[in-house]
Structure 1
């Protein structure tokens, strides 16, 4: 097809006679002298394209043009685009793709793509049709679901990021128009929503404050993850030549470093308890409080803490373990607290991987929540798939737990579900990791302790290991990290007593005559008490019954 074609223009209208559309036969289309009537009908064109490999004829039929000049100009531009592919059957598929681009642009009254741009796409093997980010996202997600080349839980996180933050900004943006400022608008919109949320929280209108209760600010770490989602999708698009570069990789954000563990010292516990009591009093006095029983556990859980990652002292951990001794999942929490397993690894642990005689446990699988379902998968990283050593105390607890599980199996008889898991429901079925976390938090509340997440027991295990004199390599190996830097950067907190001992040791290295003379003159400095901190009293959880806390006896 030559790009000089005009479309063989003719006119049609929608006049009807006896219920039938007259089309090109309407007598009003021409004047008495046979010339076209400029005030009736619209211009249409029809051009035959090279036939496909099957010999079937192909046409470019378009209508609705206001003038013959407009029709001719459009067909000339369309002809140049259709000349881009190789002639004959070799270029048929690309020619049909360009034909769809032309039809879509005419239907939507949008400009045709530039010849140079379309020619470059054809030469480099890129898709010729303009695709929006939303359309590409849908194809990308369906491909991931089919190929199963990423974890189901990871894909679920990507979907959450898209639906919550990305969709409203990028869904209708053409892929070839996804530039750095375009992606930055996603995070500008997040900041706008954060500002609105903060304003609503401090509003004088109780109804406005109630409308945002439970909603959280989108912080730097989440922003980083949203950008990672966009970057992952655009990386696939770049490999497929849908885009020429990855705009998300060039977007600058706050580093969003992960929070390090903070110890629950006495002063921090006192400040937290004061904040909890204040919130509790506010909720009790609220006029617009929902007509539900005031659940102190949820108020305790929502009270701000010094850091997202909090670590109990050894005394606090001992208080929790003493309180939870009779709980069915005591062995699971003990195992996490001392050997640093992740939640999913503990829930997925199998007896076949546990050598009680040798005192080892092979971490080879994990359970994760994927939406409302629980899925089994490989450990988080390659380094996570390893064997950990068990101390004698943990072995005794696991043996006792195994004995109780065998008793439950005998009680259920034929209805017992043999999953092979070390930690299960009473009927042998698999635990739900999210429930295990909430159960842990309710036990901590009932024990009168400050709140930590279940994962923070893993942080505490790293801290205890270092406090016991183990080096960083040993501690990193216990946690099964791929490098020691991950352990030192994230999972280690210095216990106050260890820090004090280190400070005294450092100071003792420097001889000071003035200090010696002062000690001689005063008869000695007062000594610092080395007594171990007292275990916390169960203040906020002691008056709740086990039923109120939702804990099974």
Structure 2
């Protein structure tokens, strides 16, 4: 409970022995007992919360010309102490703040102290950016993978550069300096890789430059955290991360493994783009090889190449979601990874929760797989796990998503085809659908994109390349008396 406090009046007069009279001076009051308007100064006194169970010296301030001024400041101090709301630790912190405030210095604003108390930070010192970000991350109730990503941005990039800056002093220039430091470190890594000194090259082994996409995600993490500091905690009023400018990331465009691209790859090992797509012939060659050499994984890869499922959607597919009699399946969950731990959860977006029709080849493959799975169960007997997953190991356990990717990479190398990633097989499915006559909206719905714009941004250039191939094939069908190509 906050003490009431009291007001008093004192002066600097001294007695005959030279001692100050203080509140005992007879001139402080008139003959009628009222306070003199021209002699002495007003002050106040209030008991502070206990410190470690022991009584503190009271807080005293004097020197006010008017009683109203002293009363007003006493009222403000009582209000600040009341913000502790009965919490001894907070009350002690506010008392320390008041005790250490120099006479003549304005008291902290009530709303500022209230914001700090509500945010769970000390009201006695400036909130540092690093301390706020660390507590913000701990308090966030978000997807584990997102939390890991936020933590990496804060730990590896943000805190090393701006953790020491008081949160309310953080400005755009601080963030510009941070991103400049990241760029400088990138240059150091690249220069060290090219160094003739093996010791210098070894110093950056395993270290990668921070790419444009990561830069954008770092900015997004900081912007989100500072928005929460504004809206939820009222610690600041300005978000510098919303105003700092960084170079936009340019997404790699998918390219097709044309005959010319394959020839160059075989000669130099270079890929035209980080994201590559097989032709239907190349995809068919891969499926033939996979069916002959790895029947365990073949049905999953065939389903991805035909219907464009994500890796987590294939590995997380449940038995009850597959109806081979009607050639339909439901996609609502995925088996994803947090670190290396596999976690079953819902797909990220509403658009990702969808129904898909199955083609006749996929139905045949999945029927054969179910028959094979039934034989595994008979052989395993009681050892078979009580699994609800559609694609499982011979012991009934679900496949780890990372293992599915690793096996895909090995099969691509083994069959001698130009390389693509497992996720690129999803891009293959999109191009095959387009070549078969599907429009952009159908492709978008099949892939589970949240908007058709996402589909257009990813595939426009790729589908134009497919269109060019179709145009060439169509033109070749026209009978001509002369041969324009030969003449050219």
- TM-score relative to the length of structure 1: 0.68
Pick closer, same or farther for the CA change 1:451–1:211 going to 2, 3 Å. Answer: farther
2:484 corresponds to 1:525: yes
Larger CA deviation: 327-336 vs 132-141 = 132-141
Cα distance in 2 for partners of 1:170, 1:3 equals 46
Counterpart position of 2:263: 270
Deviation at 1:501? 3.5
Counterpart position of 1:476: 444
User: What RMSD over aligned residues (CA atoms) do the two structures have, in Å?
Assistant: 3.7
Cα distance in 1 for partners of 2:439, 2:452 equals 10
Cα distance in 1 for partners of 2:113, 2:453 equals 47
**8 Å CA contact retained: 2:49, 2:95:** no
Q: Secondary structure at the match of 2:355?
A: strand
Q: Secondary structure at the match of 1:494?
A: helix
Q: Secondary structure at the match of 1:435?
A: helix
2:438 corresponds to 1:447: no
Deviation at 1:392? 0.7
Counterpart position of 2:297: 329
Cα distance in 2 for partners of 1:3, 1:265 equals 90
Cα distance in 2 for partners of 1:165, 1:391 equals 47
Deviation at 1:180? 1.6
Q: Secondary structure at the match of 1:395?
A: helix
Counterpart position of 1:10: none
Pick closer, same or farther for the CA change 1:463–1:53 going to 2, 3 Å. Answer: same
Q: Secondary structure at the match of 2:394?
A: coil
Match of 2:280 among 314, 319, 323: 314
Deviation at 1:256? 0.9
Deviation readout 1:260-312 (Å, 9 max, x if unpaired): 21112222223323333xxxxxxxxxxxxxxxxxxxxxxxxxxx532221111
Counterpart position of 1:98: 94
Counterpart position of 2:127: 131
Deviation at 1:207? 3.1
Cα distance in 1 for partners of 2:399, 2:74 equals 60
Counterpart position of 2:13: none
Counterpart position of 1:204: 196
Match of 1:257 among 250, 255, 260: 250
Alignment of 1:86-165 (within 5 A): 86-87=78-79, 90-93=82-85, 96-101=92-97, 115=106, 118-119=109-110, 121-122=112-113, 128-129=123-124, 130-144=126-140, 148=141, 150-165=142-157
**8 Å CA contact retained: 2:47, 2:57:** no
Counterpart position of 2:21: none
**8 Å CA contact retained: 1:49, 1:60:** no
Cα distance in 1 for partners of 2:173, 2:80 equals 42
Pick closer, same or farther for the CA change 1:162–1:305 going to 2, 3 Å. Answer: farther
Cα distance in 2 for partners of 1:394, 1:61 equals 82
Consecutive unaligned residues in structure 2, runs of 5 or more: 10-43, 60-71
Cα distance in 2 for partners of 1:506, 1:186 equals 55
Match of 1:404 among 348, 369, 372: 372
Consecutive unaligned residues in structure 1, runs of 5 or more: 6-46, 63-79, 277-303, 509-518, 529-553
Deviation at 1:317? 1.1
Deviation at 1:388? 0.9
Counterpart position of 1:539: none
Q: Secondary structure at the match of 1:455?
A: helix
Match of 1:59 among 31, 56, 61: 56
2:401 corresponds to 1:433: yes
Deviation at 1:499? 0.8
